[in-house]
Structure 1
Amino acid sequence: MKSIKGILFIILIMGSSALLWYFATPIEPIHAVNRLSHIIGGMAITCFFLVFLLATRMKILERWFHGLEHVYFYHKCLAIFSLVLVIIHGQLQDLVPDWDKVQETPLSEFAKELGSIGQYGFITLILIALFAKFLKYEHWRIFHRLMLIPYTFGIYHAYFSSRYDLFQPTPLGIFTAITATIGFMSALYMLTMYQDMFFKYKGNITGIEKLGSNVIELELTLDKKIPYRHGQFIFIKIFQDGFEKAPHPFSISGGDGEKIFVTIKALGDFTKNVYESVQLNTPIALDGPFGHLNFDNGTQQQIWIAGGIGITPFLSYLQSQPVDRDIELFYTYHGQDNASYKEFLQAYAKTNQQFSVNFIDTSQTDRLSFENFLVPEKTSIFMCGPEKMVKRFAKQLKSYNTIADIEYESFKIR
């Protein structure tokens, strides 16, 4: 899974910030500790610019980071790194000698106070975000949106309490103005415009089929065709009383673009609500498609690995056309209730000689492992399932097949 362009983009932006602050000339000579504190503080503001930018789900960023789940991984890493930088900046300011502390004006004193408030706000909100798994998704989103407040305080603090004149059109001043503006607008966009601008595919739920005790398939009929590739996913908003207003991601399991299918497993509050309460003709809106799995770009010989509801992106491909390459599917699940589409896969394997499937029911046998599994040359491997599973399999396969071509999508998005 290569995110080289995305990583280089982060290094370029953060490196530029460090160098511009290092070579900038302060308004008057300052102590080395104070200078270092400014560099660290400036990098923290730049880091938050990247955090907000990555949250916009821009298609170009998805391509650079090779998948939206990687965008969110680096989004989280940058948030943690920015928190560390903010704390170091505050600690260094306490070490600045008294002779280097200029007499404060009402404006600079207010900026300093806002900086302190922003620092504690950053720490609190990022710590809350890191414990997202203990929160309901809707509550997590509310706390996440509040991040704009300390970011605004931090920008104000940087401009009005800095020993560098950031209002001048110097390289540092221009860089700070551009990144601060884009960062602020990115956060504001996600708060106010994203929900209306990018959910441009509207439609209704026109079919509901329960495939087991906790799996449901929805048929969505759209007002206009969504140009998706087999293996991709979408964000869905369901406009029904009692449902969260927040969008949730689901893989497309089939359809022609004007009518698509999504298969949902009741794993959390939202998905359980969908399974139990969703109704026909309910309005929906979609954003996407997202995802980088591209079976057509794979080699003639492929290995597919699916965990539970992770079978859905593979179904989209199988249901669209007869396979024209050699595919071996490993489908692992826990209990027959979680073996969605097993009968379809069995029937498909009987009528397509190039396709074979292995069913692994972990309630009856040991869990699937690829330790010492030799992958034939010129074989593409595609995986979809829970994050821990796909990462474990990727590590096992890479340890024995160092040049293996492995692509995967995982469930964890936030």
Structure 2
Amino acid sequence: MKRPLLLLALLPLGLWAIFVLPDLLATNPGFWDWRRAIVILSGILALCWMSAGMLLAARPGWLEQRFGGLDKLYRLHKYIGIGSGVLVFSHWMSEWLPKKLAKAGLLAPRVRGPKGPPDVWVDLAKDVGEWAGYILLGMVVIALIRRIPYRWFRLVHKAFGLVFLAGVFHGLMLMPAPFWRQPLGWLTVALAATGVSAALLSLSGRIGRRRQYPARIEALHRHQGQLLEIVCRPLTTWPGHRAGQFLFADFGESGEGAHPFTIASAWQAADGTLTLAVKALGDFTAQLPNLLRSGQMLTLEGPYGQFDFAAQEHVDRSTQPAPQIWVAGGIGITPFLARLDERAANPPAAADTDFFYCTARATTFPDQLEALCRKAGVRLHRRLTEHDGPLDPAEIKACLKPGSSVWFCGPAAWGRALGRQLIGSGLPHTAFHREAFEFR
């Protein structure tokens, strides 16, 4: 995750240092010369980062494969969005603050050369960029405040395409003429063009359209703990999915759009249905039991993600299956249910899998979990945390064997802490898999 962010920062900075900085130093620059250079550089960095963020938002399949799934790609998108906000703020402050300090007499005023004729387009680009910057900073704040409902978060993200186009107009109009003949300018234009294409896809509602399928709700099952099980039947040919993947479901509610849910069942073409398990974790998911009914139409988009148990189930195809440890918290059981379905339908000849499932108290979901684990050849370790206390990482470490991999789905903070503890105890970094199912 760190490498793409470093590349996105160091590549423009390196090109600036090679092709722009020597000319700047040759002029014996003063404060206002450095200030202008910083304004331009921070603006170019902001435009590059926003362009990369727009590209990731378009969900290109080749990038999903490169970053290990859409959940990881969206996590990178989130960090790039935060970084873009910081860069836009830095760009604005480097432009605004020195002028205010000079006006207050705390800095020597800037010596201006002769003023040329007014340029309407340049003046417009300055005004557009200023307002786009204000709006972008507000959008970043809204995106980070989880108490703001998802539908408002979604609308803000949708509007970002327009803000980005305004930022591109501002950045390219004000980019110094010499930059157009240098690699830094070429990189900026190339990234901006890529971002513009993604922004137009977003504004036209075409992102993900090729992976959308109409479906019908076959059955609804309510469980204690505000959990709803939704059985869906795709009405056109569903491409199938692997255990651990997720999809976006649009139930047709105005303003809500599509929400991500992990698929809680294996795909059996003969049956033709798939199951979603939805926990009431927000305003919309809490309302779903009252909004949905059997026979209702919805749109499924996917499948996405690479939380793929089978990818590392064998160290070598000629040997026994490699040992796995699954750890789930609450609704984080959903990807494991799909994998249990797969293995129960086609039990492995030999399997070495321990499954730690933690909930606060006993629940009615999922039904017959113990029997399903036995059929799939999985050792189940149930833990009711209100009665037994939190799961001790030592219990997981005791199950580790040579070649083991650990698969986690549950609260993000717990997953990060568990990963640090297990990797710090000798588990290879590549053997710890965590679904990064956070889209805000």
TM-score bucket (shorter structure): 0.7 to 0.9
* Identity, % of aligned positions: 25
SS at match of 2:264: strand
- Preserved contact between residue 75 and residue 436 of structure 2 (Cα < 8 Å): no
Query: Which segment is superposed worse, 366-375 or 222-231?
Result: 366-375
Q: Give the direction of change, closer, same or farther, for the CA distance of 1:329–1:199 in structure 2 (3 Å limit).
A: same
Aligned pair 1:412/2:406, yes or no?
A: no
Distance 2:70 2:426 in 1: 26
Q: Give the direction of change, closer, same or farther, for the CA distance of 1:363–1:134 in structure 2 (3 Å limit).
A: same
Structure 2 residue aligned with 1:81, among 71, 80, 83? 83
Aligned pair 1:164/2:177, yes or no?
A: yes
Residue 351 of structure 2 is matched in structure 1 by 325
- Preserved contact between residue 371 and residue 397 of structure 1 (Cα < 8 Å): no
Alpha-carbon distance, 1:46 to partner: 0.5
Question: CA-to-partner distance for each residue in 1:251-303, whole Å, 9 max, x for gaps?
Answer: 11213253211111222222222223311111121111112222222242111
Aligned pair 1:15/2:10, yes or no?
A: yes
- Preserved contact between residue 371 and residue 396 of structure 1 (Cα < 8 Å): no
Distance 1:32 1:195 in 2: 41
- Preserved contact between residue 115 and residue 154 of structure 1 (Cα < 8 Å): yes
Structure 1 residue aligned with 2:258, among 247, 253, 265? 247
Structure 2 residue aligned with 1:281, among 288, 291, 295? 295
Alpha-carbon distance, 1:22 to partner: 4.3
Distance 2:393 2:331 in 1: 20
Q: Give the direction of change, closer, same or farther, for the CA distance of 1:105–1:392 in structure 2 (3 Å limit).
A: same
Distance 1:288 1:25 in 2: 45
Q: How many residue pairs are counted as aligned between the two chains? A: 402
Residue 224 of structure 1 is matched in structure 2 by 237
Q: Give the direction of change, closer, same or farther, for the CA distance of 1:200–1:349 in structure 2 (3 Å limit).
A: closer
One-letter identity of the residue aligned with 1:138: R
Residue 194 of structure 2 is matched in structure 1 by 182
Distance 1:101 1:275 in 2: 68
Write out aligned runs for 1:9-408 (5 A).
9-24=4-19, 31-94=33-96, 95=98, 98-99=110-111, 103=115, 104-131=118-145, 133-164=146-177, 168=180, 170-194=182-206, 197-222=209-234, 223-239=236-252, 242=253, 244-254=255-265, 255-257=267-269, 258-296=272-310, 297-299=312-314, 300-320=322-342, 321-323=346-348, 324-337=350-363, 340-341=365-366, 343-351=367-375, 354-371=377-394, 373-374=397-398, 375-403=400-428, 405-408=431-434
Query: Aligned-pair RMSD on alpha carbons?
Result: 2.7
The two structures have a TM-score, normalised by structure 1, of: 0.88
Tell which structure's C-alpha radius of gyration is larger: 2
Q: Give the direction of change, closer, same or farther, for the CA distance of 1:83–1:213 in structure 2 (3 Å limit).
A: closer
Alpha-carbon distance, 1:89 to partner: 2.0
Gaps of 5+ in 1: none
The two structures have a TM-score, normalised by structure 2, of: 0.83
Alpha-carbon distance, 1:311 to partner: 1.1
SS at match of 1:413: coil
Distance 1:279 1:169 in 2: 61
Distance 1:344 1:332 in 2: 16
Gaps of 5+ in 2: 100-108, 315-321
Alpha-carbon distance, 1:221 to partner: 1.0
- Preserved contact between residue 386 and residue 411 of structure 1 (Cα < 8 Å): no
One-letter identity of the residue aligned with 1:70: K
SS at match of 1:198: helix
- Preserved contact between residue 355 and residue 379 of structure 2 (Cα < 8 Å): yes
